[in-house]
Amino acid sequence: MLAHRLQATAMDFMECLYHATDKPSQTAALAQADVKLKQLRFYLRISHDLELLDIRRYEHASRLLEEIGRLLGAWKKNVTAGSPVEAQRNPS
């Protein structure tokens, strides 16, 4: 049951990232991806607490999710601030 939820949430997260490549829905899709990432972290923590994951696997997955979170945060920041590349192409 927990493994299914974790896998489904991971797929939902990937779909959010896919939708974020579409400019009109980018901000909403990135916000939804952030929610899904938080859910993934939660399910991972539960998996460890229930001893379904050993510490080595839990730490590895946690580091990967942390890096993904940094990348997602940078993408969100870039979208909300406007792309510097676009600003250079279209000076006002």
- Residue 13 in any domain: the answer is yes
- Residue 60 in any domain: the answer is yes
- Residue 88 in any domain: the answer is no
What per-residue confidence (pLDDT) applies to 84? 54
Statement: residue 20 has pLDDT above 50: yes
- Residue 85 in any domain: the answer is no
Mean pLDDT for the chain overall: 90
Question: Which among 59, 18, 17 is positioned nearest to 41, based on CA atoms?
Answer: 59
- Residue 34 in any domain: the answer is yes
- Residue 68 in any domain: the answer is yes
- Residue 66 in any domain: the answer is yes
Question: Tens digits of per-residue pLDDT, 58-76?
Answer: 999 999 999 999 999 999 9
How many Å apart are CA 65 and CA 20, to the nearest integer?
A: 18
> For the chain, what is the domain count?
1
Within a 10 A sphere around the Cβ of 15, how many other Cβ atoms?
A: 14
Read off the pTM.
0.83
Half-sphere exposure of 73 (CA within 13 A, CB side): 7
Question: Tens digits of per-residue pLDDT, 75-91?
Answer: 999 998 876 554 444 44
Higher-pLDDT residue of 25, 28: 28
